[in-house]
Chains A and B, each alone.
Chain A
Amino acid sequence: MNELYIFWNIFFGLVIILTILFSYLLIRKVHEIRTRQQIEEYKDRTRGTMFKYLYEGSTSRLLLPDHPLKITAMEELLSDFSHIIEGMATGERIQWFAEKFFADEYRKILFHRRWSIRMNTLYLIEEFHMESLLPDVLQLYKKGHVSRAEEGQILKMLAVFDHPDIFHFFTHTKYNLSELTYRVIYGSLSEEMFEQFVEKFEELPKTLQFTLVDMIGIKNRLEYGSFLESLLTSEDMEIRIRSLKAISQVGYVLPTEQLLTHLHSDSWPERIMAIKICGMLRLDEYVPYLMELMKDRMFQVRSQSAQAISNYPNGAAILQTIIDTTEDTFARDMALEWLERGNER
């Protein structure tokens, strides 16, 4: 019968597929366990020698990666050590070793078809600080079809290696990178480069402006305080909010007049950030405004005000006054919560 014949064929086809799958899994597992063992053996045998090389610079034939598995073993050893030991000399030795023995291989696999291999290579080039591969990395980048993650990593490497054209690359990205990536790249820039970015602030795309402001706050760069203040006149609300946040982080003293306009802003995130600055500077003249803001219609604003007040040396007394005098139940509840939280400290 025709149908039966078809079924038999399907059945045998499936059996063949299943056999292939199962054999693949088995062979792979056996192979994997064995290579892992060999790599571990190599690592155990050379760990001491590698340590001596990194500390004293004494080379040995034992470290010669003359076998593909040995390359992997050396890579892992170097990577482990680079996380543990610090110091200029060691860093240079790691770089020298990697450039001598891994560079040729990396130059090839940097253009591998599989994404994960390219990605791993990029990570290793950065980790071992292999500057000699920078032209190859740039070639990969310019060639066109890199992924978003690769672009982020490549730009970060350009920042780490202090590439002169970083500004151009950074402002002309192929993808919309995430704010996290931008921050990481800003964080890897040298002082001089970072300053250049601040100087050319107006030329930057919006996201780059936002993250640059964030980074000033995160890195606590008080020297850019007046720059942040100048941004507060911006038309863009997001810029104002982020600048206020950064100001509260670096501890820059804002003129009271200026602060008041933001405390009374129509946008509640802006009010919150301004309140944060009050809580950080803790000047007596802010207290009446903060007490007023405890009656704000936004929960977050009330909460932030109470927190700012509890930061004051006499914060508990102020909160107690609010509890005793106010008719606003929202303000009283919030004051109660923060009075208690203050006591815990």
Chain B
Amino acid sequence: MTIVVETWLTILTGIGWFVFFFMLFVISFYAFLLVVSLIDIRAKYQLDDFEPYEEMLEASYTKPVSILVPAYNESVGIRASVLSLLSIDYPEYEVIAINDGSKDDTLQVLIDNFDLVKINKVIRGQIKTKQVRAVYQSKMYKNLIVVDKENGGKADALNVGINISKYPYFCSMDGDSVLESDAFLKVMKPIIESNGDVIVSGGSIRIANGCEVEGGKVKAIGLSTNPFVIMQVIEYLRAFLMGRISLSRYNLLLIVSGAFGVFSRQWVIDVGGYSHTVGEDMELVVKLHRLIRERKSNKQIVYVTDPVCWTEAPESMKYLRKQRSRWHRGLFESLWMHRKLIFNPKYGAIGLVSMPYFLIVEFLGPVVELIGYIVMIISPFLGGVYLEMAVLLFLVSMIYGSVFSMAAVVLEEWSLRKFPNVSDITRLFLFSLTETLWYRPLTVLWRCEGILHIIRKKQGWGEMKRKGVSK
């Protein structure tokens, strides 16, 4: 009997140590990212942000952009988002809204509101897509094009948009987000400044819930009172300000948010456009990195802190859970389709750092954390030293999470976008302390749920394999 108990304890201690060292590794990686970001943002602290963009407002100095807005059953929000895009500060651009065979009256709303007429547009089929039914042009805004096509999913809609777009760069936008008016100038700057060496430039995403949004513009920044939203605000600050700045610096960036990124049209066509996956935005960036390495090119994929796209975050547990589980599946698909890259020295830092990071920390991390939580829950029943150990571990993980969160808030304060009140900072602080108690375990559970979904839908794998090859 005692042997059984002792074996148990040994196993438990073993698992405990494994979880501990895993977390230690993750924390040191994050700490490294944080330091890089701190240095980078501090250098730009209080830079007068208007001056550098004054000149860019002149058309002849910039490069024109096509903005793609895929829409599926969005008859409620589509008018406002197209309107807000038609009023951005940028010298030359076109807006292409793609109705992906909506079942509601999205197309009719667009036709009525923007005085659309059917045109005979010649489309270059550079990427294979579902059938395009008709192309419309607005009589009110010459730079607004609307495409009506057979339903084929978001990736397919974006690919149609790429085929139709006439400019060398395109931007993918989610239908329900709001851009700051100078966001385009700022996100295009690295592309223009690099003479085309930058082929993808991604901006930041912030959460609009709690802010005052009026006529497609953010009028005043505020912090929501919904706990789920506050936690997501903290999460986004950490992800964008800590993670992406440093990854971008070493050309390791694997995620350019689907909600706001500018891509070189030619490069995206060369990789065959978006793939039909859950996380088509990440998959595209991985493909581009892959092509860069395979062509031995020096092209870059960068992230810019300053331009911000405000997006609405889910406020209820139900939708947040769906979102997280979907994100995790998307992450898996990208990793699986490009598994050849993982630990492959031929792909340089992308193969040796980025891909393993996403596999081990981002994808498998939640599983390890879940085990950690289980161990923590069991240990008290074993009594003695284990109880104290568990409590301590818990406290440490609680505090370290808050340290990172507060560091991210410092980064945000050093940049130009700030929360207006002292009370906002206090609330962010207090909520970050509670993260380990409820929010973190919940997201870990949801992400593990995503893994379960992958395992259960076994046939889905075969399908994905086929797509990976036909790329």
Looking at B61, B121, B124, the one whose CB has the most chain A CB atoms below 10 A away is B61
Knowing A4-B388, A10-B396, A14-B399, the reply to whether A336 touches B120 (Cβ < 8 A) is yes
CA distance A149 to B55 in the complex (A): 14
B360 at the interface (CB under 8 A from A): no
| CB pair A21 B406 closer than 8 Å | yes
User: Which residues from chain A contact B124 at a C-beta distance below 8 Å?
Assistant: 299
Contact of B121 among A4, A180, A337 (CB under 8 A): A337
B403 at the interface (CB under 8 A from A): yes
CA distance A31 to B410 in the complex (A): 15
- Write the nearest CB–CB distance from B417 to chain A, whole angstroms: 14
Name the interface residues of B25-55: CB closer than 8 Å to any CB of A. 42-48, 51-52, 55
| CB pair B47 A25 closer than 8 Å | no
CA distance A127 to B50 in the complex (A): 12
Scan A321-345; emit 1 where CB is below 8 A from any B CB, else 0: 0000000000001101100110010
User: Which residues from chain A contact B409 at a C-beta distance below 8 Å?
Assistant: 25
| CB pair A337 B122 closer than 8 Å | yes
B392 at the interface (CB under 8 A from A): yes
CA distance A120 to B139 in the complex (A): 44
- Write the nearest CB–CB distance from B305 to chain A, whole angstroms: 13
Contact of A18 among B194, B402, B421 (CB under 8 A): B402
Knowing A115-B44, A120-B46, the reply to whether A14 touches B403 (Cβ < 8 A) is yes
| CB pair B422 A33 closer than 8 Å | yes
- By beta carbon, the residue of chain A nearest B59 is A218
A47 at the interface (CB under 8 A from B): no
CA distance A17 to B34 in the complex (A): 14
- By beta carbon, the residue of chain A nearest B424 is A29
| CB pair B403 A18 closer than 8 Å | yes
- By beta carbon, the residue of chain A nearest B60 is A218
User: Which residues from chain B contact A344 at a C-beta distance below 8 Å?
Assistant: 137, 139, 142
B4 at the interface (CB under 8 A from A): no
- Write the nearest CB–CB distance from B363 to chain A, whole angstroms: 27
| CB pair B119 A183 closer than 8 Å | no
| CB pair B389 A3 closer than 8 Å | yes
Scan A1-39; emit 1 where CB is below 8 A from any B CB, else 0: 101100110110011011001101110111001000000
B395 at the interface (CB under 8 A from A): yes
| CB pair B43 A7 closer than 8 Å | no
User: Which residues from chain B contact A26 at a C-beta distance below 8 Å?
Assistant: 422, 425-426
Name the interface residues of A279-294: CB closer than 8 Å to any CB of B. none
| CB pair B46 A7 closer than 8 Å | no
User: Which residues from chain B contact A299 at a C-beta distance below 8 Å?
Assistant: 122, 124
| CB pair A29 B55 closer than 8 Å | no
B393 at the interface (CB under 8 A from A): yes
User: Which residues from chain B contact A224 at a C-beta distance below 8 Å?
Assistant: none
A92 at the interface (CB under 8 A from B): no
User: Which residues from chain B contact A10 at a C-beta distance below 8 Å?
Assistant: 396
- Write the nearest CB–CB distance from B266 to chain A, whole angstroms: 12
User: Which residues from chain A contact B407 at a C-beta distance below 8 Å?
Assistant: 21
- By beta carbon, the residue of chain A nearest B197 is A178
User: Which residues from chain A contact B47 at a C-beta distance below 8 Å?
Assistant: 116, 119-120
Name the interface residues of B368-396: CB closer than 8 Å to any CB of A. 385, 388-389, 392-393, 395-396
Chain A interface size, under 10 / 10 to 19 / 20 to 34 / 35 or more: 35 or more
Chain B interface size, under 10 / 10 to 19 / 20 to 34 / 35 or more: 35 or more
User: Which residues from chain B contact A115 at a C-beta distance below 8 Å?
Assistant: 43-44
- By beta carbon, the residue of chain B nearest A17 is B403
| CB pair A29 B422 closer than 8 Å | yes
- Write the nearest CB–CB distance from A284 to chain B, whole angstroms: 26
A238 at the interface (CB under 8 A from B): no
B413 at the interface (CB under 8 A from A): yes
A114 at the interface (CB under 8 A from B): yes
- By beta carbon, the residue of chain A nearest B430 is A22
- Write the nearest CB–CB distance from B184 to chain A, whole angstroms: 15
| CB pair A14 B392 closer than 8 Å | no
| CB pair A15 B195 closer than 8 Å | no
B429 at the interface (CB under 8 A from A): yes
- Write the nearest CB–CB distance from A276 to chain B, whole angstroms: 15
Contact of B406 among A1, A7, A25, A184 (CB under 8 A): A25
B400 at the interface (CB under 8 A from A): yes
CA distance A3 to B388 in the complex (A): 11
B313 at the interface (CB under 8 A from A): no
A123 at the interface (CB under 8 A from B): yes
- Write the nearest CB–CB distance from B392 to chain A, whole angstroms: 5
User: Which residues from chain B contact A149 at a C-beta distance below 8 Å?
Assistant: 52
- By beta carbon, the residue of chain A nearest B406 is A21
CA distance A7 to B396 in the complex (A): 8
- By beta carbon, the residue of chain A nearest B117 is A344
24 contacts between A and B (CB under 8 A): A4-B392, A14-B400, A15-B399, A17-B403, A18-B406, A21-B406, A21-B407, A25-B413, A26-B425, A28-B413, A114-B43, A115-B43, A116-B44, A120-B46, A179-B192, A180-B55, A181-B193, A214-B60, A299-B122, A299-B124, A336-B122, A340-B119, A340-B120, A344-B142
Sorted nearest first, the 10 A-B pairs with minimum C-beta distance are: A116-B47, A14-B399, A218-B60, A21-B406, A123-B51, A178-B193, A7-B392, A115-B43, A333-B122, A336-B120
Residues of A within 8 A of B (CB): 1, 3-4, 7-8, 10-11, 14-15, 17-18, 21-22, 24-26, 28-30, 33, 114-117, 119-120, 123, 127, 149, 178-181, 183-184, 214, 218, 299, 303, 333-334, 336-337, 340-341, 344
Given contacts A18-B403, A333-B122, A340-B120, 17 further A-B pairs with CB under 8 A are A4-B388, A7-B396, A11-B395, A14-B399, A18-B402, A22-B429, A24-B410, A115-B43, A116-B45, A116-B47, A120-B47, A178-B194, A179-B195, A333-B120, A334-B122, A344-B137, A344-B142
